[in-house]
Amino acid sequence: MNGLLATLEPLLFIFISPLLAGWIKWIKCRLQNRRPPSLLQPYRDLAKLFRKTPVVASHASWIFEATPYILFASMLLAVAIIPSIAVHLPTASIADVIALVGFLALGRFFLILAGLDIGTAFGGMGSSREATIATLAEPAMLMGVFTLAMSANTTNLAIAIDYVLDSGLVLRPSFVFALAGMVMVAIAETGRVPIDNPATHLELTMIHEAMILEYSGRHLALIEWAGQIRLMLFGVLIANLFFPWGIAETLTPDALTKGLAAMLAKLMELGMLLATAEMMLAKMRIFRVQDYLGFAYLLSLLGMLSHVILEVG
């Protein structure tokens, strides 16, 4: 039963993730007075890409062909350790949140290598930008996570969520700062508007798109899908760490249905917030990204400081 759940839950997670991307696009179109594409459009795009034969440049090495699979597999592993519907999945106790950051970094590392592999100008440019953002975003994310870990005395996500559920509603300054820092990092890591625009292919501004410019067919489908999973992963992580109410604490069918409904409701709300925020913000110049991520790091650091100074002792 447990093993079945542990495999079903990540599978459900990755099959819902294109829906979230479609939902955000749908909200954004409605806000801009355009007619939105169907919510299922991301699935159709993925299906179309999977049917096409990938074209690989003649100079490509094995890294180029292996990257989509490594990226997708690392996302799958990351999904497995995040408590999304139920807190105590057997897979959640295998690895902690530091391993989660490691999985995200592994996928990104190979994507950066693949961007450099072909030797086109855009690939190298995108890779260098992605590496810059990643080096600045990772300390901020780890610092935010450590703030939570210090409150809960664990780096395991399931136990941390248990702790938040048990203590009920407490006004914790450290959590608010960590939440703000994590949201800023999540926006940077998923390449959303103030940092990168997922909808554009304009040469000088793109980051993520520049790296995957040479991909086609099922390779591209896997990378796009991994991007959608990453978006949902950050959404679920933030929603469940800071607002875990509604998540299934036991593995009964009743609690699981409620957990699924709660997760979907939280994701819909986060998607609406994200789309509205993207409507109101303009993309930042690339050289201001370090200020943005420096601020995110400062917020996480303040979370840590306010935990040490104000909450214990």
Partner 1 sequence: MNDLIHHPLEEQAILFIAALVIFSSFLMLAQKRLASLVNVFAWQGLLLALATALSAHTQQSPHLYFSAGLNLTLKAMLIPWMLSRLIVKLDMHREIEILLYPSITLTAAASLVLFSYYVVLPIEHLSTLATRNAIAVSLGVILLGMLLMVTRRQAIAHVVGFMAIENGLFFAAVSATSGMPMVVEMGIAFDVLVAAIIFGVFFFHISSSIDSLDVDRLNRLSENES
Residue numbers of the site for partner 1 (CB under 8 A)? Answer: 167-168, 170-174, 176-177, 291, 294-295, 298, 301-302, 305-306, 308-313
Shortest CB 105 distance to partner 1, Å? 23
Shortest CB 148 distance to partner 1, Å? 14
CA-to-CA distance for 214 and 193, rounded, in angstroms?
23
Shortest CB 12 distance to partner 1, Å? 34
Shortest CB 182 distance to partner 1, Å? 16
Q: What is the DSSP letter of 243?
A: -
Shortest CB 151 distance to partner 1, Å? 9
Shortest CB 303 distance to partner 1, Å? 9
Residue 35 CA: distances (Å) to CA of 25, 26, 44, 45, 282: 11, 8, 18, 18, 22
Closer residue to partner 1 in complex, CB, 136/231: 136
The candidate with the shortest Cα–Cα distance to 276, out of 268, 286, 284, is 268
3-state SS of 275-304 is HHHHHHCCCCCHHHHHHHHHHHHHHHHHHH
State which H helix or E strand residue 211 sits in. helix 208-211
CA-to-CA distance for 155 and 17, rounded, in angstroms?
25
Closer residue to partner 1 in complex, CB, 75/301: 301
Closer residue to partner 1 in complex, CB, 281/308: 308
- Following CA atoms 191, 94, 141, 133 in sequence, which dihedral angle do they give, to the nearest 10 degrees? -40
Shortest CB 190 distance to partner 1, Å? 24
Closer residue to partner 1 in complex, CB, 121/169: 169
The residue written with tokens 């592994």 in the block is 106
Closer residue to partner 1 in complex, CB, 19/302: 302
Residue 247 CA: distances (Å) to CA of 103, 104, 163, 221, 286: 24, 24, 13, 31, 38
Closer residue to partner 1 in complex, CB, 2/167: 167
CA angle, 234 then 129 then 28, to 5°: 45
Cβ-contact 130, 206 below 8 angstroms: no
Closer residue to partner 1 in complex, CB, 112/161: 161
